[in-house]
Structure 1
Amino acid sequence: MPWTNPRSSIRKSLLTLLLPAAIALMVAAWIVHGLLLERMARGFVENRLQDEVAFLEHQLRQSGPEEIRGIAEGDYFEEVFHHAFALRIGNQIHSSPELWTPMLEPLLAEARSGFVRKTNPGTETAIADFLAFRKALTLDDETVVIVVAEDLSTLQHSQQELHLWTAVVSGILLVLLLLAIWLAIRLSLRSVGRLQQGLKSLQTGASNRLDMEAPAEFQPLISQLNQLLDTLDQRLARSRDALANLSHSVKTPVAAIRQVLEDDTRTLDPGMRQQLAQRLSDIDRQLESEMRRSRFAGPQAGMAAQPVNQSRDLLWMLGRLHPDKNFELETKLSPDTRWPIEEHDLNEILGNLLDNAGKWSRRSSVLFLSDTGDQLIVTVEDDGPGADTDELSTLGNRGVRLDEQTPGHGLGLAIVREITERYGGSLVFGIAATGGLTVKVRIPTGNRP
């Protein structure tokens, strides 16, 4: 919102928005109450005036021609009526009480029906504000005009008193509402304080993960933070494993070369020189393999992966590393498709599978990408020598290799298996139609590492 500071505290923002809104709504409710009270009171008065005019008309119609004047001149209606009234029968006028006579008799001059509102007539003794209902009719060929009126000043005074008490009650309710809003905000934001304490504990090393017992709005944030911590721990463990494997694989040939070079009693014949060169070549290939694996890693973690674009980049890189082989991509996914997998992890999966296929293939390797809605599927096929059926179950185990002549240490497929299992997926090996190896990775879309 443009009128709020995005860097201000949540408590301050909520109070800034909710308190004026509560005050404005309460004031609006009080104003609407006054308008409704005025309307209801006027409607009540109008109904009473119409009822009394109807009663008076009924009595006049039931009386005989000679009784009409007697009724009008008597005190019958003064005893029955609750309002001031005036009658004009022909040229005779009768009104009650006398205080209302100056105000009601002018209304009898017009033979029209309807409500008449008079405010501040200008006389000190007159009623300041009144409402009258006038009805004209004909009885025995004589024009009869009936006017019934009620003083509105008393009613308005009662309305104002009621409206004032409503304002007092509304003020009390407003204060209670403001206190309730303040208390609700304070209690609701206690979880933010717990999250802040959890982050401090995480920073000081008192805990290694954030507590998941938090409101639903913070659950995705806490889950992503814990996921990031898991990813960092796993990458640290993976880096340590890679360094340990590299150290172990390099240590033996280095020790052998060192032993030969330190033995001054032996001469380096051409055969020995060739062995030393072969050992150094093995070390170089091992280092190159680790460097290539590091190049397959994505630039940043925590981002949704774009499988099509990443696959094209990796296929181009592998085409440069293996210029004598062909790498193809087959998919119906659009380039903008995103998968809920970390970019680094997807690069590890694709890079290791394609690198393995590039080493073993004779001419070509094919990468298939598909999305079934509940599963993300990555399939890599090559036209290499393949593997025996009984050997397929051992693939993907750390350190297992089917051919010692091919550079590598059997870690690539193991890394793919570890990443796949972190996402709740599966890694399946099979024989391709071309006779080579086919590797299929299935990752459920609802799972996160």
Structure 2
Amino acid sequence: MRAKSLRLRLSIAASLSLCVALVLAGVALVALFERYVIRRVGVELDTYIRQLAANVSLGPDGALQLGRPLADPRFDQPLSGLYWQIVEDGAGVKLRSRSLWDHVIDLPNDEIEPGIAHHHDLPGPNGETLFLGERRVNYATEGGNRRLRITAAVDRNEILEARTEFAGDVAASLAVLALILLASSWGQIAVGLRPLEALRRNVNAVRAGEKKSITVDGPEEIMPLVAEVNSLLEAKAKAVESAKARAANLAHALKTPLAILATDAERLRKDGRDEIADELQELAFGMRRHINRELSRARLQSLAGSPVQATPLRNVVESLTRALMRTPRGGALSWRLDIPADVTIGMGVEEATELFGALLENAVKWAATEVHVSAERECVLSILVEDDGPGVPPEKLVELGQRGVRLDQKTEGTGLGLSISSDIVDAYGGQIRFGTRSPHGFQAIITLPA
């Protein structure tokens, strides 16, 4: 699964790259430290070899002897890991450190130039690996030159232990450095993405109607996006205005023909031609219904980008209730409003009036004795409009809100009221559901952002 968060993607990429870089740096540092230690140990071994060469002398009987022992006490401790020995060509081992005990370092049979230091890895007295340095020294005597191989060696485990300790110290230091660098990279990511947050706020402001275009002054990488979005907003605004103009022109152009059709239908009915009159009246009624629908859709399209208003819900519902109570049907009903005075709805008065006007007119049309409207605001705003009429069969509820659907063809209406209500609620990011009131009746449940 791909991470959908840009911040998360950048954080993961930064974390992985930092980890890889620090691991490689740690490996390189450990390798460099090991090389340094080997060179340093090699220098120390060469120092021991030079001290041995300077202190070797010939006794009266011609035997080799060491005038002064080396200062490091490990040479006197058996199998301490630090050794020396002197080998004479053709005569074998002549002198060796006490640390070798009864062991001998088995030197390779290779030619070594006099005075040149050589370093090898050879098996030690306990099977360990020794890091060994040696030189060939020539001693001139009355009997001729005596060729000596002077060797000093150290257990390579000491080098490995030093490397291991250094690697542990480096790992701890790099871990702390990794945390510092990760925190720094996360801060850089936050700073780098801040223009996108500003862009998001501008887009929200445009959608809420507070602005008509994006005015963020961001880095040059996002300005092409800002320009494209502004162009899109401008094109959408022009398209909405064009749609509204076309709908208005259509309504104006058809107003006179519809009036003529209605007049002709009445004349035909007076002449006793009821069948033709009914056909013309139904034709005019259908055309008027479609015109109203298109005008409503054009106005709803213009809601996007309009300023968000806070309309007191109780005022709107009370105004509609007073108007409906003047009608014969509305005056015979009992009205119950449970709407707190501080509850507001996030739409204009005109849209709120049309929304609840359609719902209340539907309730008045079907109610037997009562219409009930209630509202409560928590995380969202929930509004309930219900009546105690015959209700709608459960299998027919799904059809409500569809354009022009009328479940009862005998009752006067266009079938557009609930459909327009659904469109208004959708335009403001809400939902509307239709259900059955218990024990009988109809209810519309509206859910809108608080």
Query: TM-score under structure 2 normalisation?
Result: 0.43
Query: TM-score under structure 1 normalisation?
Result: 0.43
